[in-house]
Amino acid sequence: MLIDFARYSSVKIGGVVQVQVLETCAPYASVQMVGLANNLLVAPSAENLAILSKHFDYITDLGTHLEVGARTSAQRLFSYYKSHDLQGLEFLGALPGSVGGLVKMNAGMKAYEMKEVIEALNINGEWVETKDLGFAYRTSKIQGVVFKARLKKHKGFRPGVLQECAHMRCHPKKPSFGSCFKNPVGDFAGRLLEAVGLKGFNLGGVGFSPLHANFLINLGNGRFEEALRLITLAKERVFNAFGIALEEEVCIYR
């Protein structure tokens, strides 16, 4: 199928690219998963892109745990946990994305992370337990395509956690892929970017939000090359000023 990433992605940057639809759980060589494209920056020339078919969008209660398809949206999963009085994913009320992307990057807010509710993942057609997935801050050692997840069921939805995470969310009104960089140990990417003069800084059709320096935004007609140049500039400025090598939280497909 063809996807226009200037319309499909949350940052509204990219071109029309061929994307393979994966119908079955199996190993696929060198594919780059698209999901809902909420934390992606996709080049117009990107290759080997893939997306799960719609039959991976489901939530099934298996008694001791839930099985969730990796195409299921964060909001659908959050709503299920809330309506069934389950705890552990309250932070998804403030996050976009699909289950596949959320688990692969161990998405979260503050001390709340996806890894806390994951029992196992179906990767390349085989189930792998949490202890073997190498979860850490906004990353994992997952290699391959995530098709399904087994999630824990613990009673007691926590409205206080939802409120806490909602207060943290300051997403800009302009198109964005959320946080551009991971927070380095003991510091905040937004603080570092602001300190080197990049809060509200524009480069062509893209810029860093005047509300939060770690949000790269599309000002209207942003291009992939401009976004890449701004990311590179930000990393250079922060490293030159503080000796800290920022790591992208956004996934860049070329």
Burial 139-162 (b: 16+ CB within 10 A, else e): ebebebbbbbbbbbbeeebeeebb
Strands 176-179 and 215-218: antiparallel
Q: Which residues are catalytic?
A: 138, 179, 249
Here the tokens at position 8 are: 């499909």
What phi and psi values does residue 135 have, to the nearest 5 degrees?
-70, 140
Task: Read off the tokens for 98.
Answer: 């699909």
DSSP state of 93: G
Find tokens 């893209």 and name the residue: 206
The DSSP string of 132-174 is GS--BTTB----S-EEEEEEE--B---HHHHHHHHHH----SS
* Cα pseudo-dihedral 148, 150, 156, 162, rounded to 10: -40
Cα 209 to Cα 172, 176, 197, 218: the distances in Å are 7, 9, 12, 9
